[in-house]
Amino acid sequence: GNSVTQMEGPVTLSEEAFLTINCTYTATGYPSLFWYVQYPGEGLQLLLKATKADDKGSNKGFEATYRKETTSFHLEKGSVQVSDSAVYFCALRKDAGNMLTFGGGTRLMVKP
């Protein structure tokens, strides 16, 4: 079946540090890949997405590149802010309109 594995947290960084959160997936075919973010007390929000190999999704300074050869979709940001503190979820979707399969989430804490 489909699955998503992401690095366990928490990840603790100082403000302006470089962020990488690893995500790898298992799926047949060509899934779409997503990063969702959950800020404290709020619902899941779509952060970025990529729908085919070598696509790069980007939003709010975050980026992730769909790497089919390594089945990965690592999230990166060059300079994190305290306001980026949240839980980040990597997810895949096999077919348009179908369900999302999520990883376990990675908590990011950014200290001033």
Partner 1 sequence: DTGVSQNPRHKITKRGQNVTFRCDPISEHNRLYWYRQTLGQGPEFLTYFQNEAQLEKSRLLSDRFSAERPKGSFSTLEIQRTEQGDSAMYLCASSSKKLTGPTYEQYFGPGTRLTVT
Footprint of partner 1 (CB under 8 A): 4, 32, 36, 42-46, 49, 51, 89, 91, 93, 96-105
CA 12 to CA 5: how far, in whole Å?
19
Least separation in angstroms between CB 15 and partner 1:
25
Strand partners, 77: 19, 62
Q: Which is nearer to partner 1, 9 or 17 (CB)?
A: 9
How do strand 11-14 and strand 106-111 relate by DSSP bridges?
parallel
Choose between 17 and 22: whose C-beta lies nearer to partner 1.
Answer: 22
Between 16 and 56, name the residue whose CB sits nearer to partner 1.
56
Rounded CA separation 74/33 (Å): 10
